[in-house]
Amino acid sequence: MKDVKKLKGDSERITITKDIKELVKARLSVLPKNINISIGSDGAFKRDELILHVEEEDNIGKKIIQVDMEFLQSLKRGELYE
Amino acid sequence: MNKILLITTPDHDITTRYLSVWSSKILELADKKNIRVINLKRKKANIKELKSRILKIKPLFIIFNGHGGNDCITGYDNKILIKAGNNENLLEEKIVYAISCRSASVLGKRSITSGTLVYIGYDSDFIFCHDERKISRPLNDKIAKLFLEPSNQVAVSLIKGNDSKEASRRSKKFFLRNIQKMLSSEALPESNQYAKFLWWDMKHQVCLGDGSSSF
């Protein structure tokens, strides 16, 4: 499969497809422009910066993809309403 | 061991500024409870000051605000304060809460082996959102509050006399409550994004060592 990379997550291995990247970018795009996201020692990022990182699939981008995918899996498993 | 709290508030970038300012809530509570506090602010959040205060004053509870890595906690200007294999013995017989990304994964475990009573921290990045319009007034930042109030709950619970396991449980419960608010039908469209980062922090908070230890 083209543009497929694997991310090691806690539960399932996450395969980064183009669709997943677009999903994560779309989800990030609803954040207001005035919101910054502090990611530990990596720094503080604006929405559009994170979208670029996701597109680039660099360390920060992969981190954001992992957060999103594991969160969605957790929602699917109903873990947040136990 | 003395009922003394030592806290680092490095305040050298946006992240540490938010952590440091929001720590004032913890310090207010400690003051009400007549707990002696040693606050290593800004440049004083360095290894020399830390070591000196720990050895002379012997605080029981230490809160590290700052960045970090798998095997270290940093202070002002990201200079290392505690590093696994180097000086984790400074944390012997102490209760530690470290909001230092990933430090629980290696340093936390090593410090428990070296005699730290409890190490509450995060085994991955601590992520939080904040409103850039509130940078000069972080305590008025309702978005940051979603994250930093649950984080503070660890220290708040310990100061109120709960044991470490309960303190972590209460913090995670607070995170979960905020997640559920963000996922409710009344939440704003962007709230789902806050929820995922809250969930990440909740999931990666760990309580290592003797959970029955209390301050």
Q: What is the pLDDT of residues B37-76, one digit of tens each?
A: 999 999 999 999 999 999 999 999 999 999 999 999 999 9
Tokens of A63: 């981190």
Query: Residue B65 and residue B20: Cα distance in Å, rounded?
Result: 7
Distance from CA of A38 to the nearest CA of B (A): 5
The pair phi, psi for residue A34, each rounded to 5°, is -85, 0
Residues in chain B within 8 Å Cβ distance of A43: 13, 15
Mean local confidence (pLDDT), B191-198 = 96
Instruction: Give the pair of three-digit tokens for residue B199.
Output: 């969930």
Tell whether the model's pLDDT for residue A3 goes beyond 50. no
Give the rounded distance of the alpha carbon of B192 from its chain centre. Answer: 24
Mutate which of B11, B12, B15, B65 to test chain A, going by most A C-beta atoms within 10 A? B15
- Between CA B76 and CA B98 the distance in angstroms is 15
pLDDT, tens digit, for every residue of B92-138? 999 999 998 999 999 999 999 999 999 999 999 999 999 999 999 99
Which residues in chain A have Cβ-Cβ distances shorter than 8 Å to B101? 40-41
CA-CA-CA-CA dihedral for A15, A17, A19, A25, to nearest 10: 80
Give ipTM to 2 decimals.
0.92
C-beta atoms of B68 and A71 within 8 A: no
Does the pTM surpass 0.90? The reply is: yes
Pick from B15, B18, B193: which is nearest to A27 by CB? Answer: B193
A31 has a chain B CB within 8 A of its CB: yes
To which residue do tokens 């830390």 refer?
Answer: B50
- Write the residue in A27, A35, A39 that is nearest to B127 by C-beta: A39
Q: Given this model, what pLDDT does residue A13 score?
A: 59
Of the candidates B204, B205, B160, B7, the residue with the CA atom closest to the CA atom of residue B94: B7
pLDDT tens digit string along B16-44?
999 999 999 999 999 999 999 999 999 99
Query: Does residue B141 or residue B185 have the better pLDDT?
Result: B141
Distance of residue B67 Cα from the nearest chain A Cα, in angstroms: 5
C-alpha–C-alpha distance, residues A28 and A24, integer Å: 6
